[in-house]
A = this chain, B = another copy of it.
Amino acid sequence: MSEKLNRLKEILGEVSDLNRASSVLGWDQQVNMPPGGAEARGLQLATLGKIAQEKFTADEVGILIEDLKKEFPDPQTDEGAMIRVTARTYDKAKRVPPEFVAEQAVAATKGVEAWVEAKQKSDFSIFRPHLEKHVELVKKYVSFFPPAAHPYDVLLDDFEPGLPTADVLEIFGSLRPKQVALIKAISEAKQVKSRFLNKSFNEKKVWNFSENIITKFGYDFKRGRQDKAPHPFETTFSMNDVRITNRFEKNAPLATLFSAMHECGHALYELGGNPAYERTPLAGGTSLAVHESQSRMWENLVGRSLPFWEHFYPQLKKTFPSQLEGVNVKTFYKAVNRVEPSLIRVNADEATYNLHIMLRLEIEIGMVDGSIQVRDLPGIWNAKMRDYLGITPPNDAQGVLQDIHWSYGAVGYFSTYALGNIVSAQLWEKINKEIKNLEEQIRKGQFAELREWLRVNIHQYGHKYDPADLVRKITGQGIDSAAYVRYLTKKYSDVYGL
């Protein structure tokens, strides 16, 4: 093998080790760390991040990349793909001066602090100057890059490489009226029963049930674990140590099951990677949207389907006989698919979720291109909520202040959540063409063929293909919402008898 390639892989391997060490420290922070540990942990993470950045942006890396581009010009080969992906990330990293990264880190820390207080007091004015600072920094970040069709393209590209803002707006533009119409039809139908979901469920039993489900999905507890944390997330320390977290909320006890399925979907992507890609930039999922397509598929297309509950409901009922007394599987299935426009994105159902995302995307684009001023945000937020969901937040805490993302200056990735939903439905149609009896398998609690299909067609490729290319490679088309509309319409016709 090329000596230069070996040297590049050696450096990239060290960068990967540093980043994954940071992931371990971050996981520990959420799962185990006593409060006293916070200050030092922040410094440790900053040091690891700084060294990883220094190592990756060293001039030697740039020279190796240029030489290797000539040696491995074909991006269809693993080596060529690795050089391509590395070159893109390197180019981006080199454009952003370290002092800017440091300035952003300081603004992020201050922003989160202010946001916590602002949300507590439901007072946007406390957070406003920090968000204004973030918008200024985001614009500065964009200025480091060559002019794009829209300045937001630069931000989006960090999460969805190769997908322009215009495409996302087009995808969302065609979806929005259909989704709004669907919600309207549902709101006129008879609401489904679901009060039994709010009864008291034993935490340990729910937790065990969640592990029972994801074990059947194929989550391997020899290569991962599920721990309690304030928020559910998936984190990767290597393709053989992929952990998930979960929580238990008394007012929504069975949400734990769906969170486990969601995070398991992310985890299976990472667990299904190509061992040869480990410690290189090809490891992991190709984009946030494709990653989210996996989590949403296991959570929603599998986990909120009737066949799924035809398999699991008898066990669930046996585990919670008094809570589910008199509730049959169809009633239960309808209940976990209940639609109700609500204020908070993270609690939103499948029908309304994407509208929460579109609202945020439009506001982000407006902030970046200057058509929306930060001071006007609360009013704009509330107006859009009325427009899309027909409800008005009673205060900023339940409105514009609800999400943490903007508090640390993260702008550009909300749309990937909705794109993940859209892609999941496109993949699902394709899978059902190739696995004819998939529904039947799910009804029997068999998930191996589905998981293997995802591994072969998606997981094993890691970052090799850009998201849109991967979707095209599999489905023959670009990212498109038609399949998602078909899926939602079919499901809600069934649940609400539309």
Contact = CB atoms under 8 A, between A and B. Distances in A.
B47 A237 contact: no
Interface stretch (A222-230, A325-333, A345-353, A362-370): A222-230
Nearest to A23: B44
A240 interface: yes
Given A35-B222, A36-B240, A222-B36, A44 B28 contact: no
A215 interface: no
A41 B238 contact: yes
Nearest to A37: B241
A55 to B, nearest CB: 8
A233 to B, nearest CB: 16
**For A20, A35, A44, A227, which residue has the most chain B Cβ atoms within 10 angstroms?**
A44
A21 to B, nearest CB: 5
A340 interface: no
A44 B32 contact: no
A492 to B, nearest CB: 40
Given A24-B28, A35-B222, A41 B241 contact: yes
A97 interface: no
Contact of A34 (B13, B14, B223): B223
A240 B240 CA distance: 31
A223 B36 contact: yes
A190 B44 CA distance: 56
Nearest to A241: B37
Given A37-B240, A241-B34, A43 B220 contact: no
Contacts of A224: 34, 36
A278 interface: yes
A32 B223 contact: no
A32 B24 CA distance: 11
**For A28, A33, A40, A48, which residue has the most chain B Cβ atoms within 10 angstroms?**
A40
Interface on chain A toward B: helix, strand, loop, or mixed SS? helix
A222 B35 CA distance: 6
Contacts of A279: 40, 43
A13 B43 contact: yes
Contact of A37 (B28, B36, B237, B278): B237
Contacts of A47: 13-14, 17-18, 21
Interface string A194-223: 000000000000000000000000001111
Interface residues of A, number: 39
Taking the full assembly, how many copies of this chain does it contain? 2
Given A21-B48, A24-B28, A220 B36 contact: yes
A494 interface: no
A278 B20 CA distance: 24
Nearest to A28: B24
A39 interface: yes
Contacts of A46: 17
A237 B13 contact: no
A47 B50 CA distance: 15
Contacts of A58: none
Nearest to A225: B34
Contacts of A32: 225, 227
A25 interface: yes
A241 B40 contact: yes
A51 interface: yes
A344 to B, nearest CB: 31
Interface in A54-80: none
Interface string A6-29: 000000011001101100110010
Given A24-B44, A34-B240, A44-B237, 9 more contacts: A24-B24, A32-B227, A33-B241, A34-B225, A35-B222, A36-B222, A39-B238, A40-B279, A43-B279
14 contacts: A17-B43, A18-B51, A20-B44, A24-B25, A24-B28, A33-B241, A34-B224, A34-B225, A35-B222, A35-B223, A37-B223, A40-B241, A43-B279, A51-B51
